[in-house]
């Protein structure tokens, strides 16, 4: 088992105006943000930084100059190839000239840029020509339609529900409150995280899992079968809506199919020995094509539970999977660990 801290980080970092009580409230906010935003796509030569009111503004192809917020300013600096920290040290007139000249150099390569305007006054984002936007409202509406059994967990210590959205990104933490599966004195329920950004701050994706508890800090305790799907905001980003819907449907199908079976399998796994001793357990893992170092670490963790069982070994491998750097390797290791449960059937 492993503990998931993504929702806890959101709980501690989101101001009050980025927290929402329900998916309906979140949907209204995201729709309003979508309605008040529009895109301008022009060659970088028509993106003209200029100073005004003691700050840097951006005029795009003759439109009235718009303010840059902290995020879009950083993006513009990155596209121009100058350090944001350096530009911040300059006077607005000098900074605007630096950005104008460096952007002009990029214009020699016929680079198109996309600006996302809010109320035609503030630039929310400046993205390259290959960026493809997925609106938060599209994702929330999909959740409202296909995740009807899921709702936010109990409120965190500061009153936050697990539903967040701001100018830069959104994050949803949802669980199935009726999906609990009793296993002896333990219980598991399905849940997931969903996230997105309309401005390029983060990927779009979903992480599904089964868990035992959620505390007031919104740490998800003792999670198993953690599976993650992510996609960058490139040409096929809209396929993610289908990917996320499929992940939710699979989670619900597994809940329905396994509500009774899962309890029986895990109960058996808790009683089924894995190897005669530590050396036997390591050898059995290596025979199952787990690497020797991984087999040694997993056996050490599993031994701490008191008994070398199929269940303790699955938990140990799941914990090690969460420490793996690459998502593809994490998913593969999670799947191989879950396959050990077949030994208890």
Query: Is residue 309, in this structure, part of any structural domain at all?
Result: yes
pLDDT at 190 over 90: yes
Q: Do residues 157 and 242 share a domain?
A: yes
Q: Which two tokens stand for residue 94?
A: 């000098």
Q: Choose between 276 and 102: higher pLDDT.
A: 102
Q: Are both 203 and 321 inside the same structural domain? A: no
289 with 185, same domain: the answer is no
pLDDT for 136: 97
Has residue 176 got a pLDDT over 80?
yes
Q: Could you tell me if 92 and 69 are in contact, meaning their C-beta atoms sit under 8 angstroms apart?
A: no
Does residue 129 contact residue 200 with C-beta atoms inside 8 Å?
no
pLDDT at 186: 65
pTM beyond 0.85: the answer is no
User: pLDDT value at position 253?
Assistant: 87
| Spatial contact of 216 and 11, defined as CB atoms under 8 Å apart | no
pLDDT above 80: residue 329:
no
Give per-residue pLDDT as tens, 66-85.
999 999 999 999 988 899 99
- Same domain, residue pair 57 and 20: no
Q: Say whether pLDDT at 162 is over 60.
A: yes
Does one domain contain both 142 and 233?
A: yes
Does some domain include residue 183? Answer: yes
User: In terms of domains, do 148 and 246 share one?
Assistant: yes
Written as six digits, the tokens of 105 are: 């150099």
185, pLDDT greater than 70: no
Q: What is the model's pLDDT at position 345?
A: 65
Highest mean pLDDT among 13-17, 105-109, 299-303: 13-17
| Residue 232 · residue 11 · CB < 8 Å | no
Residues 141, 24 share a domain: yes
pLDDT value at position 7?
95
Mean pLDDT of the chain: 88
- For tokens 């630039």, name the residue: 123
Residue 126 in domain: no
Task: For residues 238 and 252, state if they share a domain.
Answer: yes
108 has a pLDDT exceeding 70: no
Q: Which helix (H) or strand (E) holds 9?
A: helix 6-13
Strand pairing category for 163-165 and 186-196: unpaired
The predicted-structure confidence for 275-325, as pLDDT tens digits, reads as follows 878 888 888 888 888 888 888 998 999 888 778 898 888 888 888 887 776
**Residues 12 and 53 both lie in one domain:** no
Q: Which of 65-69, 145-149, 191-195, 275-279 has the lowest mean pLDDT?
A: 275-279
pLDDT of residue 288: 85
Instruction: Give me the pLDDT at residue 153, please.
Output: 94
Is residue 235 situated within a structural domain? yes
- 340-345: long-range contacts, CB 8 A cutoff, minimum separation 24: 340/274, 340/288, 340/310, 340/313, 340/314, 341/265, 341/266, 341/269, 341/310, 341/314, 343/269, 343/272, 343/274, 343/310, 344/265, 344/266, 344/268, 344/269, 344/271, 344/272, 344/310, 344/311, 345/265, 345/268
Give 269's DSSP letter: H
3-state secondary structure 87-108: HHCCCHHHHHHHHHHHHHHHHC
Q: What is the pLDDT of residue 247?
A: 92
Strands of 168-247 (E only): list them: 170-175, 181-183, 186-196, 204-211, 213-214, 220-231
Range of the domain at 333: 272-344
Question: Average pLDDT, stretch 154-166?
Answer: 93
Q: How confident is the model at residue 183 (pLDDT cuts 50, 70, 90)?
A: low
How sure is the predictor about 182, in pLDDT bands with cuts at 50, 70 and 90? Answer: low
Same domain, 185 and 155: yes
pLDDT at 327: 53
Q: What is the domain count for the chain?
A: 3
Residues 149 and 189 in one domain: yes
């Amino acid at each position: 088992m492993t503990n998931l801290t993504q929702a806890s980080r959101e709980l501690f970092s989101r101001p009050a105006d980025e927290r929402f009580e329900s998916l309906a409230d979140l949907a209204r906010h995201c729709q309003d943000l979508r309605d008040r935003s529009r895109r301008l796509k022009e060659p970088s030569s028509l993106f003209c930084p200029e100073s005004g009111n003691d700050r840097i503004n951006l005029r795009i192809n003759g439109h009235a100059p718009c303010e840059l917020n902290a995020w879009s300013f950083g993006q513009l600096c990155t596209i121009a190839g100058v350090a944001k920290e350096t530009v911040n040290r300059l006077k607005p007139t000098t900074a605007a000239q630096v950005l104008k000249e460096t952007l002009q150099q990029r214009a020699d390569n016929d680079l198109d840029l996309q600006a996302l305007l809010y109320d035609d006054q503030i630039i929310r984002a400046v993205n390259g020509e290959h960026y493809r936007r997925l609106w938060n409202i599209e994702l929330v509406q999909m959740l409202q339609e296909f995740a009807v059994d899921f709702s936010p967990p109990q409120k965190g210590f500061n009153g936050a529900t697990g539903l967040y959205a701001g100018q830069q990104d959104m994050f949803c933490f949802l669980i199935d409150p009726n999906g609990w599966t009793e296993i002896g004195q333990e219980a598991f329920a399905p849940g997931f995280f969903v996230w997105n950004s309309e401005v390029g701050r983060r990927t779009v994706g979903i992480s599904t899992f089964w868990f035992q508890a959620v505390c007031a800090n919104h740490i998800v305790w003792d999670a198993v079968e953690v599976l993650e799907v992510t996609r960058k905001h490139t040409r096929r980003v809209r396929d993610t809506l289908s990917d996320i819907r499929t992940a939710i449907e699979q989670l619900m199908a597994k809940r329905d199919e396994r509500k009774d079976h899962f309890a029986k399998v895990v109960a058996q796994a808790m009683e089924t020995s894995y190897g005669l001793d530590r050396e036997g357990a390591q050898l059995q893992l290596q025979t199952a094509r787990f690497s020797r170092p991984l087999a040694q670490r997993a056996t050490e963790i599993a031994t701490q539970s008191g008994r070398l069982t199929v269940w303790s070994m699955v938990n140990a491998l799941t914990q090690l999977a969460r420490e793996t750097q690459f998502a593809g390797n994490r998913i593969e290791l999670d799947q191989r660990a879950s396959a050990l449960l077949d030994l208890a059937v």
